[in-house]
Structure 1
Amino acid sequence: MLNILSIDSTVPPDLNQKVDRAQWAKLKQARFTCACCGYQSAPSESVLSGFMQVVNKEVLCAICASALQLQRPVRNLANHGFIIMASDLSQSEVTSLSREIGFAILSGDSARRERAETVFEQLLESEITHSDFQFLTEEEPQTCAEMAVGLTVISSLNRNEYAKYFKDLRYVPNFVAFSHIYEYWSKTSS
């Protein structure tokens, strides 16, 4: 289930914030491994964080962190991804699938790229629309950030109602917004 966090205006939009000593210690302790999807990154001189972040005392990759912080822009884009309804996939599975799609698109292998684009189109077919959640807002959200604002409006729902409506929502990153991260990860992954 997506858990929307409040926007932190001190976090830069490139997801490569400066790492303080406490964050560095936490990243090293976790071996730059995402607590949600299990992806392991690596730091470099140009990207000290390895595009990993400490969120609520857990180390998360940029995709999983964005799933928790939909209101925060990515590369100055408010529309950095979309929300799908996927009862048969967890957020960590969607994150891993999205990362593999990104790697395939960047691979230069045209057959692999075509297959990845087909899978991405299938994910896009599962995107939730305004008609699915008209009770959130009268105006149709145009960006991921606007959808997050709409989701925060439902705080009046009790926990069971919230789970009923939102337990199957998953975040899928926009390739354009995350392409530089995919490039970095594909070069540094083992």
Structure 2
Amino acid sequence: MLTRRALPLLALPVTARAQPRWPQRPVKLVVPFAAGGIIDVVARIIAEPLARRFGQPFVIDNVPGAGSTIGARAAARAAPDGQTLLFNGAAHVVIPALYPDAGFDALADFIPVALVGDQSFLLCVHPSVPARTVPEFLAWLRTRRGEATFATTGIGAASHLAGELLKTLAGVDFTVVPIAARPRR
């Protein structure tokens, strides 16, 4: 409740100051994967519309390595001015479990801004595998404990974790082979 003495204060002019429009300069999108990968491609697809919308370039900075921790560390150490954004994938939520000494706190040092996409998985088998359904495939795997291989995009990647989950839930065994480790022909 206002008192009679405070009432004259309402007549004083109030200076309004608008916040500067964001961004004031080019925005760096740190992509913690190599150029040409799916996360890099998606970042490049959205960078141009973002640049048009906000009137500043959105520059892709690929900083790959160590399951995305090197790039995430670079983003975490950037000035907290909103001019550097991390464009990561599911790997970001796995970092605390795989890399407890990553040099940053994956949960406390970042604030989610937008969900850009999601990822689906497809289970495929070579035509020589005598299985046409998932139950048939799991039965086939049980007869070949550890002999079958499972390709992933990398250790700790979402595809790797999905394969490990399949192994655990179905009680099967196979060898995980990161695609990057595959010998070139």
TM-score of the alignment, normalized to the shorter chain, above 0.5: no
Highest CA radius of gyration, 1 or 2?
Answer: 2
Whichever structure has more helix as a proportion of its residues is 1
TM-score by length of 1: 0.23
TM-score by length of 2: 0.24
